[in-house]
C-alpha cells in the first residue's frame, strides 16, 4: 500500500511538472509571422510610435499562433528624419518590419506665454510654467508639443528688461518675449560675520525668506516684503527645536501643525485655549524692522550686520 501511495505521488508530481512545462511552452515565442505585421502608415516627425498601434502574430513553442504584445523598446526607427522608413520590430531575437512615412513638421507656434516671473541672476524654471507650443505636420494636423522636448535659447540672466527667446523643435522655430526684472537687493544669502557666528538669512526674488543656522539648518521660513527701508517678515514654518516642550525637535511646523501637536504634550495639555492662542500669536507674529544694504553688508534693525555670501 505504501508503494502505491508513492506511485500516486510520483504521478501527481509528473502531472504538475507537465502542466508547468506546457504553460511555459505557450509563453515561449518561436517566431514572428512576417505577413501579419500591421503598423501606422504615417507618423508625425518627432513622435514615437504607440506600441498599441502595431499588430503582429507569432508562433509559440506549443505550436499555437496568437497576437504578440509589442513594447516601446521593441520598436526601431528614426523619428527625426522625414520620409519613407522601415520600422523594425524585434522581440526575443525575432524581427519583422513594416513601412511607414514620417510626416514633416511644417511649423511651430507659441500658443501661451510663460506665467513665471524672471529676475536677473536666476535661471529659469526648466519646466517653463505657462509656456505652450503647438506644431503642425504635413497631412497630419496639429497638436501640442511637450516643452521638455523643445530647446529654448536666448535667455540672458545678466540682462534686465525685455528679451526675445527662441523655441526649437525638429528643425522648426518660434519666438516669444519675456521681461526680466532686476533682482531684489536682498536676493541671496547673508551670513553672520562674527567669529563663531553661524546665523544666516536667505532671501529670494519671489518674497520668500529663511532665517537659519548654518551649523544644522534649523530655523524659520516665511514670506517678506520691503517698502521705504522697512522689512516685514511673516513666519510660515518654524523648526521644532525652537520649542522643544511642544514639538518634535526635528520637524518644521506651520501654525496649525504646531497647535495640533501641542495638544498631545504634557505642557500643552495644561494650557487653556487662550494661552495656546497667545503662545502661537507670539511665535508666528509678523515682524517689521529697519533694513539697509551697504555694499555687501546687510543691516537689520539698526543692530545686526550680515555679510553677503559669495
In a domain, 73, yes or no: yes
Radius of gyration, alpha carbons of the chain: 33
User: Are both 213 and 302 inside the same structural domain?
Assistant: yes
Please, where are the H alpha helices in the chain?
Answer: 2-27, 255-262, 266-269, 273-283
In a domain, 43, yes or no: yes
pLDDT at 13: 45
Domain range holding 153? 105-181
Q: Report d(CA 262, CA 242) in Å as an integer.
A: 13
In a domain, 18, yes or no: no
Q: pLDDT tens for residues 233-269?
A: 999 999 999 998 888 888 999 999 999 989 888 888 8
> How does residue 105 score in pLDDT terms, banded at 50, 70 and 90?
very high
In a domain, 4, yes or no: no
User: Are both 124 and 223 inside the same structural domain?
Assistant: no
Residue 5 predicted with pLDDT over 80 = no
* Number of separate helices (H) and strands (E) present in the chain: 4, 23
User: Are both 251 and 141 inside the same structural domain?
Assistant: no
Number of structural domains in the chain: 3
In a domain, 1, yes or no: no
Which of 163, 181, 199 terminates a domain? The answer is 181
Could you tell me the pTM of the whole model? 0.75
Which of 103, 128, 153 terminates a domain? The answer is 103
- The answer to whether the Cα torsion of 239, 242, 243, 244 is positive or negative is positive
In a domain, 302, yes or no: yes
Q: Report d(CA 73, CA 176) in Å as an integer.
A: 36
Which of 181, 196, 227 terminates a domain? The answer is 181
The three cell numbers locating residue 39 = 503598423
Mean pLDDT of 11-32: 59
User: Are both 295 and 254 inside the same structural domain?
Assistant: yes
CA 115 to chain centre: 17
User: Are both 125 and 233 inside the same structural domain?
Assistant: no
Which of 3-12, 107-116, 209-218 shows the lowest mean pLDDT across its residues? 3-12
CA atoms within 13 A on the CB side of 244: 2
In a domain, 144, yes or no: yes
Q: Report d(CA 39, CA 160) in Å as an integer.
A: 51
Q: Report d(CA 292, CA 264) in Å as an integer.
A: 43
Mean pLDDT of 166-195: 97
The residues, ordered by sequence, that sit 6+ positions from 283 with a Cβ below 8 Å of its Cβ are: 235, 238, 242, 243, 255, 258
Q: Report d(CA 69, CA 58) in Å as an integer.
A: 10
pLDDT at 25: 52
Residue 19 predicted with pLDDT over 50 = no
> How does residue 207 score in pLDDT terms, banded at 50, 70 and 90?
very high
* Contact between residue 74 and residue 90 where contact means Cβ atoms under 8 Å apart: yes
In a domain, 272, yes or no: yes
* Contact between residue 147 and residue 133 where contact means Cβ atoms under 8 Å apart: yes
Mean pLDDT of 292-301: 96
Closest by alpha carbon to 84, among 100, 98, 64?
100
CATH of the domain at 39: 2.60.40.3630
Strand bridging mode 29-32 / 57-60: antiparallel
Residue 16 predicted with pLDDT over 70 = no
CATH of the domain at 270: 2.40.128
User: Are both 221 and 289 inside the same structural domain?
Assistant: yes
Amino acid at each position: 500500500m505504501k508503494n502505491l501511495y508513492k506511485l500516486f505521488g510520483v504521478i501527481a508530481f509528473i502531472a504538475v511538472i507537465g502542466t508547468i512545462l506546457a504553460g511555459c511552452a505557450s509563453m515561449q515565442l518561436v517566431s514572428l509571422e512576417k505577413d501579419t505585421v500591421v503598423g501606422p502608415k504615417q507618423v508625425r516627425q518627432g513622435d514615437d510610435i504607440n506600441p498599441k498601434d502595431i499588430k503582429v502574430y507569432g508562433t509559440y513553442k506549443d505550436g499555437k499562433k496568437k497576437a504578440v504584445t509589442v513594447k516601446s523598446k521593441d520598436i526601431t526607427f528614426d523619428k527625426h528624419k522625414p520620409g519613407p522608413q522601415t520600422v523594425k520590430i524585434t522581440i526575443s531575437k525575432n524581427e519583422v518590419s513594416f513601412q511607414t512615412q514620417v510626416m514633416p513638421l511644417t511649423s511651430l507656434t507659441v500658443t501661451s506665454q510663460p506665467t513665471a516671473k524672471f529676475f536677473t541672476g536666476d535661471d529659469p524654471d526648466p519646466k517653463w510654467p505657462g509656456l505652450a507650443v503647438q506644431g503642425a505636420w504635413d497631412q497630419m494636423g496639429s497638436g501640442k508639443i511637450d516643452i521638455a522636448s523643445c530647446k529654448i535659447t536666448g535667455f540672458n540672466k545678466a540682462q534686465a528688461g525685455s528679451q526675445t527667446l527662441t523655441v526649437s523643435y525638429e528643425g522648426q522655430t518660434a519666438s516669444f518675449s519675456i521681461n526680466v526684472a532686476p533682482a531684489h537687493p536682498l536676493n541671496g544669502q547673508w551670513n553672520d560675520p562674527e567669529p563663531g557666528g553661524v546665523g544666516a538669512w536667505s532671501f529670494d526674488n519671489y518674497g520668500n525668506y529663511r532665517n537659519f543656522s548654518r551649523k544644522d539648518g534649523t530655523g524659520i521660513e516665511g514670506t517678506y516684503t520691503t517698502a521705504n527701508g522697512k522689512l516685514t517678515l511673516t513666519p510660515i514654518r518654524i523648526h521644532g527645536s525652537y520649542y522643544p516642550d511642544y514639538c518634535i525637535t526635528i520637524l518644521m511646523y506651520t501654525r496649525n501643525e504646531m497647535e495640533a501637536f501641542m495638544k498631545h504634550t504634557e505642557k500643552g495639555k495644561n494650557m487653556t485655549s487662550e494661552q495656546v492662542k497667545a503662545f502661537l500669536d507670539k511665535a508666528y507674529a509678523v515682524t517689521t524692522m529697519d533694513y539697509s544694504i551697504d555694499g555687501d553688508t546687510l543691516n537689520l534693525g539698526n543692530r545686526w550686520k550680515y555679510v553677503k555670501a559669495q
